[in-house]
Structure 1
Amino acid sequence: MGRTALVVGGGIGGLAAAIGLRRAGWEVAVVERSPVLADVGGGISLHANGVRALDALGVGEAIRAAARPQYSGGTRTPAGDWLIRMDGAAIERASGVPVFGVRWAELHRVLRAALPAGCLRVGAEVMSVERGGTAPARVSLASGAELEADLVVVADGVHSRLRGLLFPHHPGPAYSGSTVLRAVTEHPVTLTGDLELTWGKGAEFGHITFPDGRAEWHAVIKSPPGVRHADTLAALRRRFAGWHEPIPALLDATRPDAVLHHDIHELATPLPTFAVGPIALLGDAAHAMTPNLGQGAGQALEDATVLAAALATEPTVDAALARYDAERRPRTRTLVRAARQAGRAGHQLTHPTAITLRNTALRLTPSRLTVRAFLRHTNWTPPSLG
């Protein structure tokens, strides 16, 4: 089996794949098109499956040190009434792992630190890839340079250029019907819950907390694509006027230039395979999903772990990628569909009767069933990397 790999994309999934491949004995290079790795972005919640994948990759303890367990919170109405209470201790007892809140920049920093100097090359935009047949795959950069590798991992995100080249007849990412605005507060904020969501008519507001007392908040709004505002914070204050605290406090604790705004796209049409010759697709490039389950990063981390384990144990690259595809495609397809359904039942509801029926059903759901539902998609055990 070949032993050189090129990872296209230096995000969470790409770096995790590089770490896993190195642990499996591969020589790895990562190319990232962004010229500067700015430590920006919001935060993510890491569930049991993501934490276990990080443990398998050997960086779990470093992530725990940079993250904060989320023990309290739940889902509320705009008036502040509780629909679901989050029992973080019960989740930890059931799964053995708490839910963690971590800044994207911290997670990225920890993953970068696990790779040797020079492994990650920034400002290197990939334009095309040739499958290679019996020869190594060949990757062409915008600079004119060409790189060869026995394995290419495509981890260049939801708008992946290489996915479009590998699957020219696939429709590509579709707009989900929602847009997301998010930021990390400039200073600590007094909060009553670690991880909260609030569902209103056509909108959701949520937050997670970090070890330093600051918080990441997000606002998901049902909206046509491309809508932007001259004063984003003012627009958010109008949209969420009258919603309960700490929503106004979170907005007040945010610098205007810290707000990120992205329309949400997903791969609503599944790919026919995650492997084409010696090329594997991973993370959002393979199965971009809406954020309603908080599983985007978790699934990329699972991908990286399964890919590394398959390459560590199978006799050929072809056999390893066939196993990777067989293990990952059914699971991620289920989660893409479940995330979409969660959004439709959550922030995308606008009819008052539908909202009332949903809220009533949630209030009547026993706590044990809430915990079971929370863990339904996170009860995953990583394979051994050898």
Structure 2
Amino acid sequence: MGNAREAVIIGAGVGGLAAANALYRTGWRVTVLERADALRPIGAGIAMPPNAMHALDAVDADGMTLGARVRAVGVSSGAIGARRPDGRWIFRPSGDPVGRRFGYPVYSLVRTELLAVFAGQLPGDAIRLDTTAQVADPGAADQRARVETTDGRVFEADLVVAADGGRSAVRRTLFPDHPGPADGGYVIWWMLAPSLGEEEEVLASESMGKGTVWGTWALNDGRVYAYATVLKELLATGNGQADDPLSQLRAHFAGWYPQVQRILDAVDPASVYRDDARWMQTPLPAYHLGRVALLGDAAHPMTPDLGQGGSQSIEDAVVLAKLLAEADGDVSALASYTAARLPRTMDIVKRSKRMSAFHHASTPAGIFLRNQALRLSSSERTVGLFLRSFDPVFGWKP
């Protein structure tokens, strides 16, 4: 690869490392700049739906697709059920209807394992940690882009991929007049707990109460990945609870069914991450400027109600690399990247926000209608019709 074009990726999260892999496998020399001193992901676990797996299967990693490498460390969820706060099933999972319809089930895994798979397929010197970077010049057709770091280093590149998250500094630099993400209206927690023991089955499920969702997923090493979302107006913040995520969670979920309590009692406090939901209410005018491409949450943050944040960043990465390869590396292909990704991702941003209102119903009538809709749409007779509505999301292939 002595004459390979050079790409600088800002951010070593899911999208950044996926882009590094996709570009590297199509002939680019890649440098990933990450401000943290370790691959420290936001969120404890991640659910990988079928569209993410199909995207990763398009990236060859030494005779084995990147998707196959991810599946080797993940665990298939099978069907995903729904419960009430008292533990009664709205519908109980059985079989694998998602896998049958879309080719893959939803896989769950620890985010650090996912990043380790991605990082492990890159050259040893590709990732540079403890490096905060910003775009100093986005470049042009006849001029390379320039990236500068806070410690004075300068990188010139044929391509810059901004994968620096929902609070993207690069996005603000490229589009300073854009308002940025809007408040999603609720708070999110992600966490890990040790195994609850062989005698207790952990089924992939989401439990729904008033303005509240609790998610539980088994991991391949026996641990439990859990997450919670709660409307902001329902959260108690007294006695320092806002500064103590576990205390706030335990207070809010007091009285929920026993497995929730056992998970909260066992959670590793170091694994807990809390954030506000955000979504890109106002679309960006483009996902590129000059030689810079925005990717993932830097371009289109979304609420997690469809589990598509990481998946859309992976799709972005694969499409970007594919279009550049077809154009023999000519960055004029970035216009095609915007054309391919902006409509799809903004459709999913809006779908996720609509699903958020459904998930976080907070009136008695709204809760009743939500639970009835879930029960009826996910019965053995109607699950195929229900899943058909997700074809535009989960059915995507590169």
Superposed pair shares fold, TM > 0.5: yes
Opposite residue 283 of structure 1, the aligned amino acid is: G
TM-superposed deviation, 1:138: 0.8
The equivalent residue for 1:241 is 254
The equivalent residue for 1:201 is 210
8 Å contact from structure 2 (residues 4, 27) kept in 1: no
The equivalent residue for 1:116 is 123
Cα separation, partners in 2 of 1:352 and 1:358, compared to 1, 3 Å: same
The equivalent residue for 2:171 is 163
Cα separation, partners in 2 of 1:193 and 1:368, compared to 1, 3 Å: farther
Candidates 366, 381, 386, aligned match of 2:397: 381
Cα separation, partners in 2 of 1:283 and 1:76, compared to 1, 3 Å: same
The equivalent residue for 2:63 is none
The equivalent residue for 1:147 is 155
TM-superposed deviation, 1:2: 7.8
Bigger shift: residues 251-260 or 197-206: 251-260
Matched ranges for 1:1-386 at <5 A: 3-38=5-40, 41-58=43-60, 59-133=66-140, 134-189=142-197, 191-223=200-232, 229-315=242-328, 317-347=330-360, 349-365=361-377, 366-382=382-398
Opposite residue 389 of structure 2, the aligned amino acid is: A
8 Å contact from structure 1 (residues 2, 317) kept in 2: no
Residues in 1 aligned to 2:41 and 2:320: alpha-carbon distance in whole angstroms = 27
Cα separation, partners in 2 of 1:223 and 1:40, compared to 1, 3 Å: closer
Residues in 1 aligned to 2:255 and 2:278: alpha-carbon distance in whole angstroms = 29
TM-superposed deviation, 1:39: 6.6
Cα separation, partners in 2 of 1:256 and 1:268, compared to 1, 3 Å: same
Residues in 2 aligned to 1:277 and 1:316: alpha-carbon distance in whole angstroms = 14
Bigger shift: residues 317-326 or 330-339: 317-326
Q: Percent identity?
A: 39
Cα separation, partners in 2 of 1:2 and 1:62, compared to 1, 3 Å: closer
TM-superposed deviation, 1:230: 4.6
TM-superposed deviation, 1:234: 3.2
Opposite residue 113 of structure 1, the aligned amino acid is: G
Describe the SS at the equivalent of 1:356. Answer: helix
TM-superposed deviation, 1:373: 3.3
Residues in 2 aligned to 1:172 and 1:368: alpha-carbon distance in whole angstroms = 37
Residues in 2 aligned to 1:303 and 1:226: alpha-carbon distance in whole angstroms = 38
Residues in 2 aligned to 1:9 and 1:215: alpha-carbon distance in whole angstroms = 27
Q: Which runs of 4+ in 1 moved over 6 A?
A: none
8 Å contact from structure 2 (residues 4, 29) kept in 1: no
8 Å contact from structure 2 (residues 236, 252) kept in 1: no
Q: Deviations over 1:77-115 (max 9, x none)?
A: 112233344445222121221211111010000000010
Bigger shift: residues 286-295 or 254-263: 254-263
Q: Tell me the number of residue pairs that the alignment of Structure 1 and Structure 2 aligns.
A: 381
Describe the SS at the equivalent of 1:308. Answer: helix
Alpha-carbon RMSD across the aligned residues, in angstroms, is 2.1
Structure 2 unpaired stretches of 5+: 61-65
8 Å contact from structure 1 (residues 8, 14) kept in 2: yes
TM-superposed deviation, 1:36: 2.6
Q: Deviations over 1:181-210 (max 9, x none)?
A: 121103345554531101111111011111
Residues in 1 aligned to 2:31 and 2:246: alpha-carbon distance in whole angstroms = 40
Bigger shift: residues 174-183 or 358-367: 358-367
Describe the SS at the equivalent of 1:129. Answer: strand
TM-score for both structures, normalised by structure 1:
0.93
TM-superposed deviation, 1:249: 1.5
TM-superposed deviation, 1:13: 0.4
Residues in 2 aligned to 1:39 and 1:323: alpha-carbon distance in whole angstroms = 30
8 Å contact from structure 1 (residues 270, 333) kept in 2: yes
Cα separation, partners in 2 of 1:136 and 1:378, compared to 1, 3 Å: same
Opposite residue 76 of structure 1, the aligned amino acid is: R
Q: Deviations over 1:246-278 (max 9, x none)?
A: 211111221333321111222221111001111
Residues in 1 aligned to 2:393 and 2:258: alpha-carbon distance in whole angstroms = 30
8 Å contact from structure 1 (residues 88, 99) kept in 2: no
Describe the SS at the equivalent of 1:44. Answer: strand
TM-superposed deviation, 1:321: 0.8
Residues in 2 aligned to 1:334 and 1:115: alpha-carbon distance in whole angstroms = 32
Residues in 1 aligned to 2:174 and 2:37: alpha-carbon distance in whole angstroms = 25
Describe the SS at the equivalent of 1:34. Answer: coil
Describe the SS at the equivalent of 1:377. Answer: helix
TM-score for both structures, normalised by structure 2:
0.90
Cα separation, partners in 2 of 1:40 and 1:64, compared to 1, 3 Å: same
Q: Deviations over 1:10-39 (max 9, x none)?
A: 111001101111111111111111123347
Residues in 2 aligned to 1:289 and 1:187: alpha-carbon distance in whole angstroms = 31
8 Å contact from structure 2 (residues 196, 263) kept in 1: no
